[in-house]
Amino acid sequence: MTGLVTGTAYTFTVVATNTIGTSAASTPSASLTLSLPAPPPSIPSAPAPSIPSGSSGAGSSSTPTANTGPVVVTNPVVTSLTFVENATKDGGKLVWVGSNIEAVLFTGDASIYPDSFNYGAFTIAWTGELRNIIRDKKYTAKVDFRSASGGNASQTIEFMIGYTAAEIAAAQAVIDAKAAAEKKALDDAKAAADKAAADAKAAADKAAADAIAATKAAAEKAAADAKATAELIAAQARAAAEAAAAAALKAAQEISDAKAKAAAELKAAQDKAAEDARIAAELKAAQEKADADLKAAAEKKALADAKAAAALAAKKIVPKITLYSISSKLTLSAYDNAYLKKYISTLKSKAVVTCIGYYYTKNTTLAKAKALATTQATAVCKMIKKAKPTVITKIELYPSTKAPKAAQGAKWVAVNYRVDSYKGK
């Protein structure tokens, strides 16, 4: 390699070229600074020759000059990289064979690299030892080699400490022994259970026979005792039956009298219930007729008012109707409800309906009074929109001083409504 300048730092990359093409460049090597080699040992000068007195001529000597040529970088040569496991199967050693190797760099699973070395750095002291290797796990490691002159080479190796055939056979033997022991335990337990069942059956048969004999003897004694007792009880029962017959006859008469009284009272109650039901039905029919008549009257008046309003509005734009409530929940009588629904149905589409809320500030704040007035006006607009969705509703708030006299301070007034005005062209 020529053209290098002494004292300049260099890094190197490598590419491989074959018939397929050229590979990507390798990772740059560590930085190397070119320096001159040490000068060779000094060669002593030869002694000057003696010049005889009177002779002519002069003696001469020469001094060797230092080599000032560039350092030649030589790469390490690695002929093999192998892994040798240790006797305990928990570690081993990477063994490399080659020449011109000064330092190495291990790249792989850091957990198996010795703690005494700086992982990720070149070292001249590490001899390939690895520890904490897990059995039957495949590892991949890369070793970079560096020469004294800065040359680089690397090799990658895969290795694993597997289980031997003997270890596998021993493990299988343990499994087989455990299975055999479990089977024997089950067989012994079954035999013991069968014996215990047989013993229990024999004991149960004997106990049953003894119990039958004892029961028979006891039954015979009990029968004799029962006969004597029965005869005594029979005599007592005859006397009691005669007394009971007399009492029963008296009780039967009392029950008969009570039933007759209860029947009379039940019939009177049923007759009263029937009369009450008849009266209720007549009242309900009368109420329904009154409600129907009231609704018809309200609708008739609403149509008459609407006709009058239409006559007044003949030369004006869509009328503006104003409704107001003094209750946050709008509750109308049957007449008011029928009247308003009928009247609203006569309004033209997009008629503007203003829902007014009057706020009273006595004993409350202005904000709370306006919030209540807004709720009341919203209740009116909601009822209007439900009756006729095509009308346009809006909400306005006025102080109580502007409230109609019919609503101002009149707690019993549920709702008031009226046509305010017509907007001229």
What tens digit of pLDDT does each residue of 219-271 get? 899 889 989 999 999 999 899 999 998 999 999 999 999 999 999 999 999 99
pLDDT at position 38: 44
Please write the tens of the pLDDT for every residue from 354-394. 888 888 888 899 999 899 889 888 888 888 888 889 988 88
pLDDT at position 422: 38
Mean pLDDT, to the nearest integer, of 23-41?
63
175 or 29, which is more confident:
175
Give residue 76's pLDDT band: very low, low, confident or very high (50, 70, 90): very high
Calculate the alpha carbon distances from 392 to 103, 209, 336, 381 in Å.
94, 101, 21, 9
Instruction: State the average pLDDT for the chain.
Output: 80
pLDDT of 23 over the 80 cut: no
pLDDT at position 335: 81
Mean pLDDT, to the nearest integer, of 64-86?
80
pLDDT of 132 over the 80 cut: yes
pLDDT at position 351: 84
| Angstrom distance (rounded) from CA 380 to CA 368 | 19
320 with 423: CB under 8 angstroms? yes
Q: At CB < 8 A and 24+ separation, what contacts does 398-407 make?
A: 398/356, 398/357, 398/358, 398/359, 399/358, 399/359, 399/361, 400/358, 400/359, 400/360, 400/361, 402/358, 403/324, 403/358, 404/324, 407/324, 407/326, 407/358
DSSP code, position 17: B
Please write the tens of the pLDDT for every residue from 174-207. 999 999 999 999 999 999 999 999 999 999 899 9
pLDDT of 308 over the 80 cut: no
- Taking alpha carbons only, the member of 75, 90, 92 closest to residue 157 is 92
pLDDT at position 317: 45
pLDDT of 51 over the 90 cut: no
DSSP code, position 74: -
| Angstrom distance (rounded) from CA 216 to CA 328 | 90
pLDDT at position 356: 84
Structure tokens at 198: 């047989």
Min mean pLDDT across 57-71, 87-101, 279-293, 345-359 is at 57-71
Min mean pLDDT across 43-47, 170-174, 359-363 is at 43-47
Residues forming beta bridges with residue 97, ordered by sequence position: 80
| Angstrom distance (rounded) from CA 199 to CA 205 | 10
pLDDT of 216 over the 80 cut: yes
352 or 131, which is more confident:
131
| Angstrom distance (rounded) from CA 353 to CA 345 | 13
Provide the 3-class DSSP secondary structure of residue 400. Answer: helix
Structure tokens at 42: 């000094």
Structure tokens at 265: 């009272």
pLDDT at position 334: 80
Gyration radius of the chain over CA positions: 62
The one-letter amino acid code at 152 reads N
Give residue 49's pLDDT band: very low, low, confident or very high (50, 70, 90): very low
pLDDT at position 240: 92
β-strands 32-33, 9-10: how paired? antiparallel
Min mean pLDDT across 75-84, 137-146, 214-223 is at 214-223
Neighbours of 410 (CB within 10 A): 13
